Structure formats: C-alpha cells, structure tokens
C-alpha cells in the first residue's frame, strides 16, 4: 500500500497553491517504511540512486500523469543521500532533489530576522552559493510572510513555478530552499502566490546582482568578501580633515560617441575618472546612486535593487575594483543612498507578497506625491532591518567610505509636501515621523559601531535640530549635514547684478549665524544644474568675463568658508549648459581654442583651491567650532566686500580671506589683521592663469594702525570680482 498524499494535495502542488511542499516531497517515513515523493512535471520515468554507491534503489511510480512520482525505498528506514535519474523525452538526466536537504536558516538567524535585529540580514536572505551535504548549489531565502506559496523560478527550471516551491519558516515569515546545481550568474525571481490567488513575479530584495534593464531578474552572485577597516580612511573622513567632494553621475561623466554614445564601464571609469579626480585634488568621490534601478532618467534615485550595483557599468566585481582603485589613489568614495522611498514597478517591493509588506497601506502614509513612489514602513521590524543591513552592506562589503542619505526631510515629517487632510499625525498628534526618526538613529548607531571609520551625511533641507549630533544627545547621529540654506542664500546673492548686491549683503553672511549648529558640508550639487536652473556659470550675471570672474570668486569664497566642500561634475571647468544625464560633459570646452581658455582657467583654479585647502590647516581643521572663524568685516555692504580669518589648531597659521563681489577694483583697501609682519597672497582668483586681469599684491607689510578691532592693519588692492587668500610670512 502506497503512503500517498491525497489527490487534493497533489493538485495543489501542480496548481502552485500548496503552502508546505516539504511536508510531501522528498523522503518520508510511514509505518516503519521510507517513501519518496517527487514532483517532476512532464517527466516520463524516475529512478532513485544511492549517492554513496551509485546503486539504483527503486523506480518510482508515476501516480499522476502530470508528473507526480512516488515509491517505497526497499530495505531503508532512515533518510540517506540520493539522486534522481529522470527521463524527459528522449534524454535521461541525473539530478539532485532539493527536497532531500534540510533547513537553510539556523534557529538563531530565524529568531533575529523575526525580531528585526539581525545586524547582517544579507548573510542569510537572498541567494547564496553554498554547499550542503557535500553538494554545491544555491541557498535561497526571502521574506514573504503573507504569501500562500513561494517558488524559485529561473533560467534553470524553465521559469516554472511548479518545480521548486519553497519551505515556509513560520517563526519568521521567510521562505527558503537549497537548489543543487544552480550556479553563479543564473537568472531568477520569486514566483509568489498571494492570499488573493494572484501570481506575482518578484526580483530578490536581497539580490546581489541584477539583469541589465529592460530585464528585471536577479542574478545569482556570491556575497562580496568583507573589506577590512582602514585607519587611513577613518583619518580622511575626520571632522578636522580636508574633505573636498567631487559628485559624479557615472553614466554621463564621459561617454564614447564613436561607439553609440555608450557609457564607460566601472573598470574604464577606474582608469580615467580616478586619475582625473586625483589630479584635481579632490579627497572624495560621491556617486549618484549605483543601486540597481529600472529607469535611467531617475539617476538612481528610485532604486529597486538596493543590494546590487547597477549592471549598466559592469559586474559587482567590477564595481569593487573601482572602489579599490579609488582607495589605492587616496580617494574616498561616498554613495548616495535612498532609504526614503522606492518605485512602484511590479517586479519590485510594492505589494511584495500580495500585501503592503514594505510600504504603508494607507497612501496618506505610504505614497510620495512628489515622486509617485512608495514610502517604507519604518514601524515594521523587518523593513528597518532590511535598510539598516543595506547601509552596513555597502560599507562592509564594498569598502564604501560613507553614505549620503537622500531626502531626509521627506522621511522626518509626515506632512512633507502634503496639504491639510492628506497626512496622518503621529500617535501624539504631531507631524514628525517618529518611526523614521528612530530608524535613522538606529541605522547611524549600527554603522558607527560596526564600522567607525565610515561616515553618514544627511541631505536635510529643514531646520530639524541636531541632525549631526549623537542620538545620546537627542540627535539623529549623522556625521555631516548638507548646508542647503547656505547654498540657496549664496547662489541667490551671486545671481544678483553686482550693482544690487549691497542690498542682499546678508545672504552671504547669514550662514555664519548657524554655521556651528551642525557639522556642515557646503554643496553645489547636481540639483543646482538641472530642471531649468541652468549651469552655475549661466547663473552668474554680466558678460562672459564677469560670469567667469564671478564664478571664480564664489568658488574661492566657498572653499574658505567653514564646512566641507562638494562640487558636482562639470562645475570644475564651468560647463556652460545645464547637465543632461543622456550626454557626456562638454569636455571640448577645455580646448584652449574654445572660449578663450576661460574654462581651463576655472579648472586650474579648482585644482589650486583643493591644493591650498589641503595644505592650509586653517582652512579645514576647525570647521565646526567658532574658534576656527573670525570676521574682519561682515558689514561692508556698500563695497560688497567680505573679509574674515580662518584659524587652525596651532596659533599663527591664520589665513585671511577677502572677497570683492563687484567689478570695481578696491585700491588701498584696509583690513585689520591679528599679527604684525609680512603677509603674502597664496591665492588670487584674478590671476592671469585663471583667466583674470592679474591685479593683486606683492608681499604686504602691516602698519601699526588699528582697524576692525585689531592693532595692526594691511592696506592692499582687492581685484574686481575676485577673492584673495593671505598668509603671514614666517620670520
């Protein structure tokens, strides 16, 4: 008598609705005998082979014409390793039976995943090449607690969801299976049978590699090895270090027109972009998101493959080579990271198991009106774990030096960009998203504890307090915050005709009112050269000479101002047109025969600014304390001149900065100085090599005439639309 499951159970296996295939398939003991059941659609004959001695032990009966086989294993009472010999059509194949293998997740992993406290969930969830019971294959695991059935489908099983239904670990809502013989590079998805009876095909939320768009499948890839922590990288990220960031969109930095306007690969970028950044003296690269994303035009800010470097530019190994090359050249790499929202594409996280699993069900909490995207449910343990694990993954497994967290303001406030009645208050009736706040604090604490050499930077555009202060002090735990207010104010000032700037003088000084409330980065980012804003150069007033002079003076003012620096690609040579992600930067502008050589002059200035910035401790050591800055004159609105002192940790290393934002040269201009002696120019944006008029100063001697509260003063020439740096000459 066969120990068969009933027909209803067999039918459920074939129609893909059985929730517990391991309870039927594989070896099972019945009345002291061992039985084997196998679901092999369209197979004609199946035999059981002892894996140890290669003997055929039994031929199974085909008890359902669609391909369900069952049989008693003679003289066996305990489970043993076996293979199946299967005849399909005219061919016979030896295969491993996935249903003879045990559980993928250990009990502790299942417990931590259920709690949402697994520090590295990516080590267990996703697709992991593994060896079980001496057999090579891939262990798959996916969180889908409300699904009726989940199967692995891929190019290894004809994308047939009947073939490999998974085991549900009810204690944590994770479905798992070990598939023998699947190799790295295999394409796969999860076929999910929802509670409503619908079939959904989903890419792996923890997939480490992905198919190139328009394909949407995940690709089996090994988890990258851990990158050892680096004291050198920690020093380069420190608050007292020079941090000058070059922001890059990899797909449009440089293209190859002769080859269909194609992108450069990660390895080509390593060989071209890295030397370029090093030559210009930037200390860090910041990459617009490289997480896999379906739409080129999103620039990566609507990611679906949070654990996969985009395949547009190569493989995960290629991306890691890019990072290693940057580090070998002393350049840190920051990654734009988007935990605030995700797109609604059907193969992604939206209604992942047929329910609102990763997102809120109520659109007043779960839908971003600005971007038509979905908002993560930060109140769910597993969602927080997914995102926090992802932050650590990029730092630990690729050696990323830091994460610039996008759209933090949209996470902090429930009423972000919403009208009254379009949002739900928190439990106390307020507008703050308490769950998101707790997530950000927890994420920053996790990263800071596990990889203290790494940093996180918040793109946060409101006055939310203590963004860059530790959670223990009531802060969010970021190391740095983008200073959006400084950027908006100073650009608004620079866009004014110089004759009107005296009426907007406060725009350039107001940033110092709050400069030390946070650890700021001064960003001139991609957001300032898109959506009709034009390029930075195009926003400067006046004729071409004045536009370039304005931009040079502005850059030098920025590099001297307290705060770390960020400049988007193209700004370093004053690209004239607005950035277009579908085209290369306008590298032809650097030809001396084009534009009078002024573009090359701006590029030379940026190189020299970075060199002076790194060489002068006064310009970077004390960015976040009032002791590192002192105004000389902040109130000379009539002349539109600003003067101040930057100070380092050691006395007598001050740098004096004087900026003139009118096209009128200021002859015999007097400024007070802290120390008597000789002072010399160490940078002048009006220098001829930058395209300026070459007005300036030789070595200057102080006079014992008090000015601006100092006992000593200098009388000097301040060139038109120019910024100069002065340093005392050592005796």
Residues recognised as catalytic: 406, 459
Q: How far apart are CA 546 and CA 498, in angstroms?
A: 10
Which tokens belong to 212? Answer: 């190139």
Q: How far apart are CA 306 and CA 373, in angstroms?
A: 15
CA–CA separation, 553 and 121 (whole Å): 49
Beta-carbon contacts of residue 306 (< 8 Å; ≥ 6 apart): 205, 291, 386, 387, 390
Q: What is the largest CA-CA distance in the chain?
A: 113
What is the rounded distance in angstroms from the CA atom of residue 505 to the CA atom of residue 482? 22
Q: Which residue has the tokens 């196998």?
A: 38
- Alpha-carbon span 341 to 199, nearest angstrom: 25
Q: How far is CA 27 from CA 4, 34, 77, 101, 130, in A?
A: 12, 7, 10, 10, 22
Those residues with Cβ within 8 angstroms of residue 421's Cβ, 6 or more apart along the chain or in another chain: none
Strand 68-73 to strand 61-64: parallel, antiparallel, or no bridges (unpaired)? Answer: antiparallel
Total Cβ atoms within 10 A of residue 170: 12
d(CA 267, CA 382): 35
Backbone CA torsion sign across 301, 304, 307, 308? negative
CA dist 225 and 423 (Å) reads 43
Collapsing DSSP states into helix, strand and coil, what is residue 483? coil
Candidates 429, 600, 579, 458; CA nearest to 520 is 458
CA 644/CA 674 separation, integer angstroms:
11
Q: 52: number of CA atoms within 13 Å, CB side?
A: 4
**CB of 326 within 8 A of CB of 274?**
yes
3-state secondary structure of 258: helix
**Cβ atoms of residues 666 and 717 within 8 Å:** yes
What lies within 8 Å, CB to CB, of 318 at 6+ separation is 265, 266, 267
Residues 6+ apart with CB under 8 A from 123: 223
| Cα of 83 vs its chain's centroid, Å | 44
Do the beta carbons of residue 294 and residue 627 sit within 8 Å?
no
Angle ∠(406,409,410) on CA atoms, nearest 5: 85
Structure tokens at 234: 């920690």
Contact, 37 vs 70, CB < 8 A? Answer: yes
């Amino acid at each position: 008598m066969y120990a068969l499951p009933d027909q209803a159970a067999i039918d459920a296996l074939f129609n893909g609705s059985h929730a517990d295939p391991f309870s039927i398939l594989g070896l099972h003991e019945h009345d002291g005998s061992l039985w084997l059941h196998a679901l092999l659609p369209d197979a004609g004959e199946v035999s059981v082979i002892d894996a140890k001695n290669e003997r055929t032990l039994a031929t199974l009966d085909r008890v359902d014409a669609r391909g369900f086989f069952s049989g008693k294993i003679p003289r066996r009472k305990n489970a043993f390793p076996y293979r199946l010999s299967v005849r399909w059509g005219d061919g016979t194949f030896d295969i491993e039976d996935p249903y003879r293998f045990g559980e993928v997740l250990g009990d502790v992993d299942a417990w931590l995943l259920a709690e949402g406290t697994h520090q590295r969930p990516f080590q267990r969830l996703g697709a992991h090449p593994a060896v079980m019971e001496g057999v090579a294959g891939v262990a798959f695991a996916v969180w889908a607690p409300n699904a009726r059935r989940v199967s692995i489908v891929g190019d290894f099983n004809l994308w047939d969801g009947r073939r490999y239904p998974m085991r549900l670990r009810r204690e944590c809502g994770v479905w798992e299976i070990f598939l023998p013989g699947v190799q790295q590079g295999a394409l796969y998805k999860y076929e999910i049978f929802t509670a409503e009876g619908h079939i959904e095909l989903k890419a792996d939320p923890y997939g480490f590699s992905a198919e190139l768009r328009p394909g949407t499948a995940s690709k089996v890839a090994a988890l990258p090895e851990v990158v050892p922590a680096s004291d050198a990288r920690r020093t380069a990220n420190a608050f007292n270090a020079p941090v000058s960031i070059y922001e890059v969109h990899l797909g449009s930095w440089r293209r190859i027109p002769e080859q269909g306007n194609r992108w450069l690969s990660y390895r080509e970028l390593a060989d071209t972009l890295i030397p370029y950044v090093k030559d210009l003296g930037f200390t860090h690269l910041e990459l617009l998101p490289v997480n896999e994303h379906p739409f080129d035009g999103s620039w990566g800010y609507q990611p679906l493959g949070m654990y996969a470097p985009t395949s547009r530019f190569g493989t995960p190994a290629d991306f890691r080579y890019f990072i290693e090359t940057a580090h070998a050249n002393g350049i840190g790499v920051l990654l734009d990271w988007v935990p605030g929202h995700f797109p609604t594409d059907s193969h992604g996280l939206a209604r992942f198991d047929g329910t609102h699993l990763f997102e809120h069900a109520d659109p007043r909490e779960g839908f971003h009106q600005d971007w038509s995207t979905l908002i993560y449910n930060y109140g769910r343990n597993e969602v927080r774990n997914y995102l926090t694990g992802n932050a650590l993954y990029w730092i630990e497994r690729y050696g990323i030096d830091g994460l610039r967290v996008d759209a933090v303001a949209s996470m902090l406030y429930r009423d972000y960009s919403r009208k009254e009645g379009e949002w739900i208050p928190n439990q106390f009736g307020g507008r703050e998203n308490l769950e998101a706040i707790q997530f950000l604090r927890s994420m920053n604490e996790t990263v800071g504890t596990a990889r203290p050499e790494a940093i996180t930077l918040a793109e946060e555009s409101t006055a939310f307090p203590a963004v860059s202060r530790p959670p223990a002090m009531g802060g969010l735990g970021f190391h740095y915050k983008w200073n959006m207010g400084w950027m908006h104010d100073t650009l608004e000032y620079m866009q004014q005709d110089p004759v009107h700037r005296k009426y907007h003088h406060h725009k350039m000084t107001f940033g110092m009112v709050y400069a030390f409330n946070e650890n700021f980065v001064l960003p001139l980012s991609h957001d300032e050269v898109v959506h009709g804003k034009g390029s930075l150069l195009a926003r400067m007033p006046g004729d071409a000479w004045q536009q370039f002079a304005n931009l040079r003076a502005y850059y030098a003012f920025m590099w001297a101002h307290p705060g770390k620096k960020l400049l988007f690609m193209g700004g370093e040579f004053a690209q004239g047109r607005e950035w277009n992600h579908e085209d290369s930067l306008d590298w032809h502008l650097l030809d001396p025969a084009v534009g009078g050589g002024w573009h090359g002059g701006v590029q030379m200035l940026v190189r020299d600014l970075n060199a002076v910035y790194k060489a002068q401790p006064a310009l970077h050591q004390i960015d976040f304390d009032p002791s590192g800055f002192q105004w000389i004159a902040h109130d000379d609105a009539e002349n539109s001149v600003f003067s101040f002192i930057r100070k380092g940790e050691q006395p007598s290393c001050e740098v004096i900065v004087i900026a003139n934002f009118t096209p009128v040269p200021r002859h015999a201009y007097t400024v007070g100085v802290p120390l008597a002696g000789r002072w010399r120019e160490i940078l002048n944006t009006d220098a001829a090599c930058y395209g300026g008029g070459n007005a300036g100063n030789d070595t200057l001697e102080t006079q014992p005439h008090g000015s601006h509260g100092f006992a000593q003063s200098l009388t000097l020439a301040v060139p038109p639309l120019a910024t100069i740096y002065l340093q005392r000459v050592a005796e």
